[in-house]
Amino acid sequence: MNDTAGALRTTSDTLLRDLEVLSEIEDEKRSIEPGDPRLVELAARVEELAARVLDSSRRQRTLTESVHRQVEAGLPEAPTTSIEATPRAMATILAEWRDGERRLAAAEPGSPEAIETEALVESCRAEYRRAYDAADRR
């Protein structure tokens, strides 16, 4: 995997995870009564995540433009597989998963950080399982 393909995969993964967390936190926020201080906390987290999604989408556009130019020019370093087919290293996934588990253990249950970290942990767990199964089939 070349650097551009890896960066595109990482950016896409981050974007999907942030969108998932954004949806979960927004759903949580909708169920909270006015006047509950968590409403303000969750609204602030939604705003932070939305800004991160915007940044990631801009980064992804820049990367896809670079990939397009590489492919059009027939450069040998041009990616040859889709974003989905570009795997991350199992060690990277595992490290991210472990870090997420530590952050989850330290987070206050039900907090925006806990909700976000739970989504990260679940995403890493599923990705690691897919990577493990793919490696086992080889």
Domain ranges of the chain: 1-80, 87-138
Spatial CB neighbours of 44, under 8 Å, sequence gap ≥ 6: none
Say how far apart CA 51 and CA 80 lie, in whole Å: 31
Residue 32: the pLDDT is 94
Q: Which of 135, 116, 137 is nearest to 53 (CA)?
A: 116
Q: Which of 111, 80, 83 is nearest to 15 (CA)?
A: 83
Residue 116: the pLDDT is 86
Say how far apart CA 124 and CA 87 lie, in whole Å: 13
pLDDT, block means (10 residues), the chain with 138 residues: 84 91 92 93 94 97 95 93 87 94 94 88 91 85
- Report the sign of the C-alpha dihedral through residues 58, 60, 61, 67, in that order: positive
Residue 111: the pLDDT is 86
Say how far apart CA 97 and CA 124 lie, in whole Å: 5
Q: Say if pTM beats, i.e. exceeds, 0.75.
A: yes
- The percent helix, strand, coil of the chain (3-state, each to 5) is 80, 0, 20
Residue 58: the pLDDT is 98
Coil vs helix vs strand at 109: coil
Give the amino acid at 32.
I
Whether 16 contacts 22, CB under 8 Å: no
